[in-house]
Structure 1
Amino acid sequence: MSVTVADIMSTRVVTIDMDDRLTIVKEIFDSAPFHHLLVVENDKLQGVLSERDYLRTLSPHIGAINETERDVETLQRRAHQVMTRNPITTSPECSLHAASRLLLLHNIGSLPVLAQGQIVGIVTWKDLLRAYSQ
């Protein structure tokens, strides 16, 4: 029996709404040990917001002595303005090899896992690397 995405995916998935502000995203990333948020609207996946996307959007002066009001305003942007739309997804039955190829082909760090259109988990490059190393 071969190992599938369902065997290694994280089922603890954090979702945010399309109109959530980056202040909420900041709170989540500051307090949680993961790097990808799934963006939903009416319980349907609309995009992925990675920590890298979030950091790329923020002013580098946030929290610094020379922080300005304009820097702080970058935290008022909405998730839908920063997220990656139409994310590449996978199914729980997908092989680890196929999931790895998707990540490499699309140069992405995670795959939302959907079953019958519903979010059931997420698998990241670290999950795959961990599985291959065991």
Structure 2
Amino acid sequence: MFVSELMSTRLITVELDDKLSAVKEIFESVNIHHLLVIESKMVFGVVSDRDLYKALSPNIGTRTETSKDTATLNKRVHQIASRRPIVLPVSATIEEAIYIFNTHNISCIPIVDHEMEPIGIITTRSILKALDEKKITLLATCKTQ
């Protein structure tokens, strides 16, 4: 099975100089956990919802919020993005993706074309969902032989 069969092509991207307030708005309005960071149409990095919430003050939106807390929303994507993400071509297999997930501390892999332009994203959640729905049977079959 290929990553193209499980990847999401619904990509939402941000740029290096975008404010974290915009990233926060995206995560709050769309049910996703990763944004691809794009520079010159190519994948430059990844920002996860966890990256965002680590960078923001926990006092935002509370009675104790100060201007210093609010200022964390003005930080830029380049300050928190994971740079040079591990990527895979559309021709990669699910087994290759699983190997990368198991050997690196990441939860998404951008799928790119030969020019490093994003065409999809695969996550650990998408693989687990496919396993639960029995879409991935090759893995279990291979292990028993």
TM range (shorter): over 0.9
1:124 match: 123
Structure of greater Rg: 2
Q: 1:130 Cα shift?
A: 1.4
Cα distance in structure 2, aligned partners of 1:84 and 1:92: 21
Q: Which amino acid aligns with 1:118?
A: E
- Could you tell me which of 83, 88, 91 is aligned with 2:89? 91
2:63 match: 65
Q: 1:103 Cα shift?
A: 1.3
Cα distance in structure 2, aligned partners of 1:103 and 1:84: 15
Cα distance in structure 1, aligned partners of 2:42 and 2:124: 23
Cα distance in structure 2, aligned partners of 1:41 and 1:99: 24
Q: 1:94 Cα shift?
A: 1.2
1:11 aligns with 2:2: no
SS of corresponding position for 1:107: coil
Q: Which amino acid aligns with 2:118?
A: I
Cα distance in structure 1, aligned partners of 2:96 and 2:44: 22
Q: Can you give the 5+ residue segments of structure 2 that lack an aligned partner in the other structure?
A: 135-145
SS of corresponding position for 1:59: coil
Give CA deviations for 1:50-73 in whole Å, capped at 9, x if unaligned.
Answer: 000000000010101100000000
Instruction: State the TM-score, normalized to the length of structure 1.
Output: 0.96
1:109 match: 107
Q: 1:101 Cα shift?
A: 1.2
State the Cα RMSD in Å.
0.8
Q: 1:91 Cα shift?
A: 1.4
Give the fraction of aligned pairs with identical amino acids, expressed as a percent: 39
Instruction: State the TM-score, normalized to the length of structure 2.
Output: 0.89
| Divergent runs of 4+, >6 A | none
- Could you tell me which of 32, 42, 46 is aligned with 1:34? 32
Cα distance in structure 2, aligned partners of 1:8 and 1:69: 43
SS of corresponding position for 2:61: coil
